[in-house]
């Protein structure tokens, strides 16, 4: 996705710190309410990093310090997501100081004052600085804005000065992390043997015929599995069943839905607003003032909802249109005509064949040839979207190559942008486009346009009245009061079929949501409370537009893995082994051709053929991507047959009928570079996990917040 985002995203802990520092510097926030009365003695540890205990009060003091700065600058309270981000920043700062800091110190890594100046106002401006000091007229970074800000720095309020100091500190930490990661990235390499292995896995092929008896052909009712067998399997496969501390719950939801009276009142209000919008002298201001969800007056085609977009051709200036429904929000529009913008907007898709600008000529030539071959197939009738999913090498591949809407303002690399905006209409660009990222096959899906539409939109969300909410709460309270035990809870569900019961399985301790419940932290915290046991029933929780009463039905502990924690998966695996033994025993006594064996075996046995199987992407007809069977096909000599063996989903007898070795290749650079690139993409994650593991990070925040 580098083409789309232009490296605007940063992975890892330091990036999170930068993001929050920017928010603090530019907007601000509120102060959290302390909870010190909840904690004391040995129970006040928020966590432990590198052998150092982080006390709740110390942690909260840092949170308070940041949120005070936040509040002073914005004058508003943070939302729940902002609250979580600020806490994460404080925690991540501890990790940077106590875990990463030791690594930097050991290696002698520092960021000099000169480097910091260079990142802020020098030659190598940090992306975060570029993002914030942008000229609104040109949309480009303007160094003069930075210089002017720094000249006036001492005249700024103390809170904003401190926020800038924190921001610069986060820039230094980001640079330190980048240096550290680059050191490790540069230490990774791919040998010729590894590259040759990847090449062979992708290009060598075999054809095979095989007999396949899937496990599902044997009825589960004929296989008896005991707890002793499950215990034995769990004991011998501990690496496959890693424990996790979780809770499982059942919960009854009482949705708060607008009543008929609420709905009638809402529609009357909407009709009144439509009449007033029609005669309003300043329609855009009137719409903004009366909207629950505010939308811009001038909108490009890309910004207009699909339902409205389809009606634009029928709209006349001054007309009122709608209501248009989107979920619980209804919108009415007053159309004011069109305006031409200085920028064009277009929607396009692409298939990127990766070939970095520093790649060798042979790698680029191979990539270009591959791109031209794909382009030729699409011109011949192949689906662009299917080819993108199969051959695309960036994050758009799974979306059929869709890049969404973008403007000709430098959001894309220049050669790509020039090619797309030089194209008229929609359709496939006739030639590939070369950029520093590689070669692109491009399809314009919505033609470029610089038309903006004047739409004064009143967006109102229908909501239940207070009396409706009170009535639903009364019902939820009555249910909670009458069903305080597991037995009573379940009996009520059986008795009253109108109650909506849902399950939340294996909810982790730090979860803030589960199923379709967002902002459900209070429910999770209750489920993990020391006083909450399996069988406990909660009081009433309010969650957005519903009330909830929950029952804890199960718990797991990462330190004490039990059969019940993985019963279904263990049972399926043990049944698979028992079925395999049964099938193999029956097949062992049968001889003849595969067809004869299948006939003698009886129902369930399939004989199939697979051609051009590769190790990297081999797929069998009924069995799918079964690595055991595919590996066996490559391991057999042509004309040889295997004995019955267990695969992932059944038992096979494999015959290899043809083998096509990978052609000799002189230059493995493409495969080495691909492997190196993929390893580099994983480096940040692996470094972070390794450092946390080495520092023995224990995160207990979920018990406090």
As beta bridge partners, residue 442 has: 350
Residues shown for the chain:
705
Say if CB 336 and CB 454 are below 8 A apart: yes
Higher pLDDT, residue 114 or 363: 114
Helices 13-26 and 80-95 sit at what angle, rounded to 10 degrees?
130
Neighbours of 507 (CB within 10 A): 20
Distance of CA 263 to the CA centre of its chain: 36
pLDDT value, residue 137: 67
pTM summary value: 0.58
Tell me the pLDDT band of 296, cut-offs 50, 70 and 90: confident
Q: For the segment 301-321, what is each residue's pLDDT rounded down to a tens digit?
A: 878 888 898 888 889 999 999
Cα 360-8-97 angle, rounded to 5 deg? 105
Query: What is the rounded CA–CA span in Å between residue 57 and residue 42?
Result: 13
Q: For residue 442, what are the contacts with CB-CB under 8 A and spacing of at least 6?
A: 348, 349, 350, 416, 419, 420, 428, 429, 433
Which residues fall within 8 angstroms of residue 72, CB to CB, at 6 or more apart? 28, 157, 159
Mean per-residue pLDDT, 131-156: 83
CB atoms within 10 A of CB 292: 13
What is the rounded average pLDDT of the residues 468-480? 95
Report the pLDDT value the prediction gives residue 589, as an integer from 0 to 100: 87
DSSP category for residue 383:
-
User: Is residue 370's pLDDT more than 50?
Assistant: yes
pLDDT tops 60 at residue 1: no
Contact 47/91 with Cβ under 8 angstroms? yes
DSSP H helices, 606-647, are 627-635
Buried b (16+ CB within 10 A) or exposed e, 88-102: bbbbbbbbbebbbbe
Give the tens place of pLDDT for each residue, 644-691.
Answer: 999 999 999 999 999 999 999 888 888 888 888 888 778 888 888 899
CA distance to 293, 311, 333, 457, 460, per residue, from 288 (Å): 8, 22, 12, 7, 11
Strands of 162-287 (E only): list them.
205-214, 246-255
| Alpha helix (H) residue ranges in 355-465 | 361-379, 384-391, 414-422
Cα distance between residue 523 and residue 539, in whole Å: 10
Helix (H, G, I), strand (E, B) or coil at 327: coil
Choose the weakest-confidence range: 72-81, 158-167, 252-261, 568-577.
72-81
Q: Indicate the range of 17-26, 86-95, 466-475, 500-509 predicted with least confidence.
A: 17-26
* 137-146, 442-451, 651-660, 687-696, range with greatest mean pLDDT: 651-660
Reported as type and span, the H/E element at residue 516 is none
Instruction: Inform me whether the pLDDT recorded for 330 exceeds 90.
Output: yes
Assess whether the previous peptide bond of 323 is cis (omega < 30° from 0).
Answer: yes
Q: Quick check: helix, strand or coil at residue 417?
A: helix
What does the mean pLDDT of the chain come to? 87
pLDDT per position as a tens digit, 207-216: 999 999 999 9
Measured from the Cβ of residue 47, the count of other Cβ atoms closer than 10 Å reads: 20
pLDDT computed for residue 73 by the predictor: 66
């Amino acid at each position: 996705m580098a083409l789309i985002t232009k490296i605007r995203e940063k992975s890892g802990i330091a990036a999170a710190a930068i993001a929050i520092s920017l928010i603090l510097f530019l907007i601000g926030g509120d102060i959290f309410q302390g909870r010190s009365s909840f904690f004391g003695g040995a129970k006040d540890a928020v966590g432990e990093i590198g052998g150092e205990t982080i006390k709740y009060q110390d942690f909260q003091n840092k949170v308070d310090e940041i949120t005070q700065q936040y509040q002073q600058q914005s004058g508003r309270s943070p939302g729940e997501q902002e609250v979580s981000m600020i806490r994460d920043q404080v925690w991540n700062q501890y990790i940077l100081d106590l875990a990463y800091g030791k690594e930097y110190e050991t290696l002698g890594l520092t960021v000099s004052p000169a480097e910091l100046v260079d990142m802020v106002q020098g030659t190598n401006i940090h992306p975060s600085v570029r993002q914030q000091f942008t000229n609104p007229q040109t949309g480009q970074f303007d160094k003069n804005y930075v210089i002017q800000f720094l000249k006036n720095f001492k005249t700024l309020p103390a809170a904003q000065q401190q926020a800038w100091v924190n921001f610069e500190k986060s820039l230094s930490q980001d640079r330190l992390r980048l240096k550290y990661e680059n050191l490790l990235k540069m230490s990774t390499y791919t040998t010729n043997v590894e590259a040759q292995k990847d090449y062979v896995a992708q290009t060598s092929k075999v054809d095979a015929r095989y007999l396949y008896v899937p496990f599902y052909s044997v009825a589960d009712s004929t296989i008896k599995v005991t707890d002793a067998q499950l215990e034995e399997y769990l004991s011998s496969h501990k690496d496959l069943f890693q424990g996790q501390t979780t809770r499982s719950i059942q919960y009854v939801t009482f949705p708060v839905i607008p009543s008929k009276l609420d709905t009638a009142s809402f529609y009357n209000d909407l009709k009144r607003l439509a009449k007033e919008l029609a005669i309003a002298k300043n329609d855009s201001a009137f719409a903004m003032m009366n909207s629950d969800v505010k939308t811009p007056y001038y909108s490009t085609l890309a910004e207009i909802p699909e339902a409205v977009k389809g009606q634009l051709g029928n709209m006349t200036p001054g007309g009122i249109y709608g209501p248009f429904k989107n979920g619980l929000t209804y919108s009415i529009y007053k159309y004011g005509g069109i305006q031409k913008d200085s920028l064009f907007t277009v929607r396009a898709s692409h298939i990127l064949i990766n070939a970095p600008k520093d790649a060798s000529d042979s790698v680029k030539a191979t990539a270009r040839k591959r791109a031209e071959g794909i382009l030729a197939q699409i011109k011949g009738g192949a689906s662009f979207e299917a080819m993108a999913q199969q051959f695309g090498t960036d994050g758009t591949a799974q979306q059929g190559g869709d890049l969404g809407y973008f403007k000709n303002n430098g959001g894309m690399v220049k050669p790509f942008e020039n090619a797309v905006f030089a194209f008229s209409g929609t359709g496939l660009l006739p030639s590939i486009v070369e950029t520093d990222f590689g070669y692109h096959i491009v399809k314009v899906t919505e033609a470029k346009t610089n038309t903006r539409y004047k739409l004064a939109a009143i967006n109102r969300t229908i909501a239940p009245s207070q009396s409706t909410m009170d009535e639903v709460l009364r019902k939820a309270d009555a249910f909670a009061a009458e069903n305080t035990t597991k037995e009573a809870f379940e009996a009520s569900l059986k008795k009253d079929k109108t109650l909506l019961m849902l399950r939340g399985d294996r909810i982790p301790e730090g979860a803030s949501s589960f199923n379709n419940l967002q902002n459900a932290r209070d429910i999770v915290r209750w489920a993990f409370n020391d006083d909450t046991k399996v069988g406990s029933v909660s009081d009433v929780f309010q969650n957005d537009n519903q009330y909830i009463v929950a029952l804890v039905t199960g718990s797991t502990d990462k330190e004490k893995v039990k059969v019940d924690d993985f019963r279904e998966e263990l049972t399926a695996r043990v049944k698979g082994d028992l079925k395999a033994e049964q099938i193999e025993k029956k097949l062992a006594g049968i001889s003849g051709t595969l067809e004869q064996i299948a006939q003698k075996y009886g129902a369930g046995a399939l004989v199939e053929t697979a051609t051009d199987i590769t190790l990297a992407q081999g797929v069998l007809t009924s069995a799918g991507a079964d690595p055991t069977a595919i590996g066996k096909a490559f391991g057999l000599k042509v004309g040889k047959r295997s004995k019955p063996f267990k695969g992932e989903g059944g038992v096979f007898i494999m015959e290899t009928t043809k083998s096509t070795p990978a052609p000799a290749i002189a230059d493995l650079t493409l495969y080495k570079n691909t492997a190196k690139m993929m390893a580099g993409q994983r480096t940040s994650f692996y470094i972070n996990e390794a450092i946390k593991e080495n520092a023995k990070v224990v995160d207990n925040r979920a018990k406090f917040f």
